[in-house]
Each structure stands twice: as C-alpha cells, then as structure tokens.
C-alpha cells in the first residue's frame, strides 16, 4: 500500500483518485530526484487548498460564534490557518510520515518542519476538494479543526510566544523584541541555533533549536516566563520582595492569571489578523 492509500485509509474518506492525493504528498525535492514517478509536485494543489481551507474555516467560525464581531472572527481564523495552526492539524493525521521528500530534505528534518507540513496540508485539502467536492472536504476540515473552532479564548492559547511577546513590548514601550544569534553550530543538515531575545534593552531569555525560528520561539517562551515572574514578584508585599531568601513556594504558585492578563497575552486586534497562511504564519 502506497502513501496515498495509507493516508486515504487514515482519513476515512472514499478517495477515488489516489494519484491526485499522492501528488499532494510530493515535495519538489522528491520530484527532482524522481522526475517520472509522479504527476508533479504539490505546489499547485497547495495554491488551491489555501482557498479551500480558509473558506471552510471562515464559514464554520461564522456559524459557531454568532456574537463575535469581524475582528474576533479574524483572530480566530488567523490562529487556525497560520503555519503553526495548519502544522498542528497536519500532526493529527500524521501527515509528515507520509510525505515524499528528497533525501536531503528528509535529512534536514523536513517531516517535522511546520512550514512544510502546512503547505502539504493545504495540498491535501486541494486534492480532496477536486476529488470529493466541497461538502465532504468541508466536513473533514471542520471535524479535524473542531478543538480550535470551539476554543472560547482565541488568540491566547493559540498565539505563538513570539506574537505574545511582541504585543507585550509594543503595548509597554512601542518597541519590538530584538533577537540576537549567540551561536550557530553543526553541519547544514544538523544546525543548532542559540538565540537570545532582548526586551527593553536587556536580555530576557535564551532558546535553542534546529532553525532560527524555532530558537527564537524558545527564547520568547523563556522571556514570557521571566515577565510573568517579575509581574508576580511586583504584586507581592515589599517585605516579601526584599527578603534575602525567597520562599520557593511563592515561585511555585505564581498566579495563572498572569499568563492571560492584558500585558503578557493581550488579544490580537483586527489589524494583526490575516486571511491566509501566507501572511498569517
């Protein structure tokens, strides 16, 4: 059984054109190494699937949240159709394991790369739309994204740490966080980046990862944790803050509200919401 048949079985859909679904799994790097083994790569299907996914998600959100205004609906949609959001959906069907990648792309961790997973997910949606039509494809997308579609707090738990950190700094000072490469080691296919994020002129967190983006996200996460600690410390009585030996129980019981307050995780306004992964990611 080939990857397209495996995927069709996993999806539980009556796929008729397995060749079309297989094309959705073909990365350009694989086609370059196997020129006559497939109809083509998946980029045209990705183009179509981008529209299919956006329309299905927009319609579902419109029906599920009748009291939301345009800005909040846009925020909800952006959190789902962003690169991170689509990669999350791709993970639910284990799409990475079925992709046809060139040898070099596979060695560089392409099966786990969010941008590649998001593109392939859109290509699959495009292929299903051409094969099964709008209604079946729409139902599949809506069922798969149900946790995000019904999320009561869009933009908080679904926004990336980098977005949340940037909103915090822009709200406080109008400036953006600055990401600095501390080190980059290893061969090209096994690169390890170490990046430090600066907020208000001082370092707030260090992160590591196989790409700059991953390392920046890790650094932003550390910075948010530091900001929460500082906010919690500032809310304590001065006698407690000035004690020479901090009580470890205090740090262990930092209030959860700090993570959802306006300063650390403010909601995204309409100006930052987008209609397509190509600008939302």
Q: Indicate the SS3 state at residue 183.
A: strand
- How many Å apart are CA 96 and CA 93, to the nearest integer? 9
Q: Which two tokens stand for residue 1?
A: 């059984």
CB 244 within 8 A of CB 49: no
CB 225 within 8 A of CB 205: yes
Q: Interior CA angle at 125 toward 54 and 137, to 5°?
A: 85
Is 122 in the active site? yes
Angle formed by the axes of helices 212-234 and 161-172, to 10°?
50
Give me the catalytic one of 22, 46, 105, 122.
Answer: 122
Give me the catalytic one of 50, 167, 196, 216.
Answer: 50
Q: Which two tokens stand for residue 133?
A: 């039509």
- CA-closest candidate to residue 253, choices 236, 277, 274: 236
CB 43 within 8 A of CB 28: yes
- How many Å apart are CA 252 and CA 226, to the nearest integer? 13
- How many Å apart are CA 4 and CA 9, to the nearest integer? 9
Catalytic residues: 50, 122
């Amino acid at each position: 059984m080939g990857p397209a048949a495996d995927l069709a079985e996993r999806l539980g859909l009556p796929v008729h054109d397995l060749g079309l679904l297989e094309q959705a799994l073909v990365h350009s790097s694989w086609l370059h190494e196997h020129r006559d083994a497939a109809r083509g790569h998946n980029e045209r299907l990705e183009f179509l699937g981008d529209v299919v996914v956006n329309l299905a998600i927009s319609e579902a959100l419109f029906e599920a949240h009748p009291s939301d205004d345009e800005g909040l609906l846009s925020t909800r949609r952006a959190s789902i159709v962003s690169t991170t959001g689509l990669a999350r959906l791709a993970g639910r069907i284990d799409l990475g394991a079925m992709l046809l990648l060139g040898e070099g792309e596979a060695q560089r961790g392409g099966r786990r790369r969010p941008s590649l997973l998001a593109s392939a997910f859109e290509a699959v949606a495009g292929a299903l739309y051409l094969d099964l039509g709008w209604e079946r494809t729409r139902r599949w997308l809506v069922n798969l994204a149900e946790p995000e579609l019904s999320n009561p707090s869009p933009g908080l738990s679904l926004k990336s740490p980098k977005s949340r950190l940037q909103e915090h700094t822009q709200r406080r000072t109008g400036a953006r966080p600055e990401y600095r490469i501390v080190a980059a080691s290893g061969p090209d296919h096994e690169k390890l980046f170490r990046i430090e994020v600066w907020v208000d002129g001082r370092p707030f967190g260090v992160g590591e990862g196989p790409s700059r983006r991953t390392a920046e996200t890790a650094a932003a996460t550390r910075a948010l944790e530091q900001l929460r600690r500082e906010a919690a410390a500032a809310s304590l009585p001065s006698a407690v803050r000035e004690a020479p030996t901090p009580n470890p129980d205090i740090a262990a019981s930092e209030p959860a509200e700090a993570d959802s307050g306006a300063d650390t995780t403010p909601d995204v306004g309409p100006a930052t919401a987008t209609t397509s992964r190509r600008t939302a990611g």
